Amino acid sequence: MAFPRVKPAADETAFSECLLKRNQDLSPTPAEQSSILSLVTKINNVIDNLIVAPGNFEVQIEEVRQVGSYKKGTMTTGHNVADLVVILKILPTLLSMLTNETGFEISSADATVKILITTVPPNLRKLDPELHLDIKVLQSALAAIRHARWFEENASQSTVKVLIRLLKDLRLRFPGFEPLTPWILDLLGHSAVMNNPSRQPLSLNVAYRRCLQMLAAGLFLPGSVGITDPCESGNFRVHTVMTLEQQDMVCFTAQTLVRVLSHGGYRKILGLEGDASYLALEMSTWDGVIVTPSEKAYEKPPERKEEEDDEGLEEEGGGEDESMETQD
């Protein structure tokens, strides 16, 4: 049983309304949704026909899967892009498959579909680096499928999707959150909403505040358990893809925003009052309370003077060579 509150919970009706308004502003317009759905449907139909009746089409396709924010329902307005993964039965070669490093794009007037190329997992052991696509690109596309499947099974709650959309917007507006990948944001949003004793979704305002509090408390710092990737084996912690500097930057940026939020600065943080990126860098005042930005705690160690050491060894080696020549 939880301890009783010392004082009544603050009324966060206005904060909740602002969160919903911001989500509405960020959600794709009906026109955007219609255009991307139309393009995805056309491309899916073409690929499905090639799978069933390839005819003279030389490339053998295993299946096509929708992934990314389009599949998850977390797209934002102004970025009308859907991702499809095409899984080939054959080994994809560099020349025949790519217009970019991951695949190719198909666009209409106001929508784009990214086609990501990969192959069936058994083929990954047969790749020739000089002939076929980079194995990291192929593995990344397969991981995107696992992510979409996990999200569909575990994070379909509307509160999770709204929170992730808001977090993606926060990442774009505050440079300190730039290292957070889309997959990290998905897992962070899901954890903030669902990871509680009751296993029932928390309200949006509580979950949003909780995200910042977890980041500020060091969820993604070295030594922290963090969030284990549910789609990878070996207890892989998702935040280890960030450098130590980036982990520190995410933490001290969140610490500053938590303090701003606690003094009523949610409109600024949500972007409802213009650019607020300065909040993480400059002092600000809220009802007479001065909020000073947190500073970085991690200092990158000086680079080892390997070049100087190498030069020193060369000089020593050169001296020995000269002495040997003199002796001869």
Residues 209-261: tens digit of each pLDDT: 999 999 999 999 999 999 999 999 888 999 999 999 999 999 999 999 999 99
DSSP secondary structure of 220-249: TSTT----B-TTSSS--BGGGGS-HHHHHH
Q: Which helix (H) or strand (E) holds 281?
A: none
Q: Distance between terminal CA atoms of the chain?
A: 89
Digit-coded pLDDT (tens) for 163-216: 999 999 999 999 999 999 999 999 999 999 999 999 899 999 999 999 999 999
* Mean pLDDT across the chain: 88
Give the residue from 262, 163, 160 showing the smallest Cα distance to 213.
262
Q: Which amino acid is at 54?
A: P
pLDDT of residue 97: 47
Is it the case that residue 53 has pLDDT exceeding 90?
A: no
What whole-number distance in Å separates Cα of residue 138 and Cα of residue 132? 10
Portion of the chain with pLDDT greater than 90, in percent: 69
Query: Would you say 113 and 84 are in contact if contact means Cβ atoms under 8 Å apart?
Result: yes
pLDDT of residue 327: 40
What whole-number distance in Å separates Cα of residue 2 and Cα of residue 36? 47
Report if pTM > 0.85.
Answer: yes
Chain CA centroid to CA 140, Å:
13
pLDDT of residue 182: 96
| 83 CB neighbour count, 10 Å cutoff | 22
pLDDT of residue 199: 87
- Distances in whole angstroms, Cα of residue 182 to Cα of each of 91, 93, 171, 229: 28, 28, 10, 13
Digit-coded pLDDT (tens) for 282-322: 999 998 999 999 999 888 888 776 555 555 555 554 444 44
pLDDT of residue 10: 78
